[in-house]
Amino acid sequence: MNKITLRVCLFALSICFCGFTPVSAQEIGTIEFISPELSSLIKKEAKVEVIAEGFQFTEGPLWLEKEKMLLFSDIPANTIYKWTEAKGKEVYVKPGGYTGSEPRGGFMGPNGLYKTKDGKLWVCQHGDRRIAAMDAPLNAPKSNFVTVAGAYDGKKLNSPNDFFMSKKGELYFTDPAYGFEGGMRDPKKELPFQGVYRMDKAGKVTLLIDSMQAPNGIGILPDGKTLLVANTQGRGRGWYAYDIASNGALENARVFYNPGTTREPGGCDGFKIDKKGNVFAAGPGGIWIFTKEGKLIGKIKVNNLTAANCALTANGKTLYITATQYLLRVNLR
């Protein structure tokens, strides 16, 4: 066997064992400038970099400014990872979403992550079917969790997916059925819908929306008056906007943006909103970028990958993207 043949064989074996072909930063994606407005957010020469890989399905990125690290979830692996410039990827907490003793598979792990004002890490846990607080300091993480929200109307939640804390200290969260091994028909499912909820500061959980097939990403525009929710799939796939009334109820439901019938990988998933109200939303084919009025101004395309969520640094200059087996980064400006 000559050297060339050997190299080809080794390369083929690496693909078989890893399950995917390694992709360079130049090959992973492109940026589409749909409107000149995008130039104020992203420089023309910006690149989509692969900064970590080898995961199963990444989600829930959270940038921690003080610690200069990114936390993110690998749902099937039941693991929360951390990434730093100095050390790259490291396991942060495992198990992170399912802490039970009965073996199971599927999307059982952690998803959305949030750091509270008092420095606690909150986790949307698919397998444990709750939002939980890690009972350990950020710099000494442990797989010890305390329930923050785990039920509505006496019934266990489905599998909390994502959440957002309002300026008033009220937690808005989504609860689709992705964490069940049997999907929406799983016999363990107790609620007959996939809900969007609000939890007040006293811990009371109120149902806001029960009509979406798969509520997912959630956030509030900087004015504090408009809630955005992503519906990942089904006939109503898209991003929706709601006015938040003084009593916390939702009014004036409307379409924020309809992605149409595009068949690129992924659905309407997690998103982040910058200080000016621009929305960086995981959608079919990559990250869709909207103004606060819902005008599509550009896309970050991630070739044949499912973009699930993203996170902005505190200064808004860097965007991290969780996309299937990769963690990506775009230095915006």
| Position 211, amino acid | S
Looking at 54-194, which runs of residues are DSSP E strands? 58-64, 69-74, 79-84, 88-93, 110-115, 121-125, 130-134, 145-149, 151-152, 155-156, 162-165, 171-175
Burial 271-299 (b: 16+ CB within 10 A, else e): bbbbeeebbbbbbbbbbbbbbbeeebbbb
| Position 127, amino acid | G
How do residues 217-245 score in pLDDT, each as one tens digit? Answer: 999 999 999 999 999 988 899 999 999 99
Distances (CA, A) of 201 to 47, 55, 113, 166, 171: 41, 36, 18, 11, 8
pLDDT at 221: 98
Q: Could you tell me if 322 and 61 are in contact, meaning their C-beta atoms sit under 8 angstroms apart?
A: yes
Residues of the chain with pLDDT under 70: 1-27
pLDDT at 13: 31
pLDDT at 331: 96
**CATH superfamily label, 52-263+322-331:** TolB, C-terminal domain (2.120.10.30)
Q: What does the alpha-carbon distance between residue 34 and residue 90 come to, in Å, rounded to a whole number?
A: 37
pLDDT at 18: 38
pLDDT at 8: 33
Q: What does the alpha-carbon distance between residue 158 and residue 19 come to, in Å, rounded to a whole number?
A: 30
pLDDT at 262: 86
pLDDT at 20: 42
Q: What does the alpha-carbon distance between residue 16 and residue 286 come to, in Å, rounded to a whole number?
A: 26
- Residue 40's SS3 state is helix
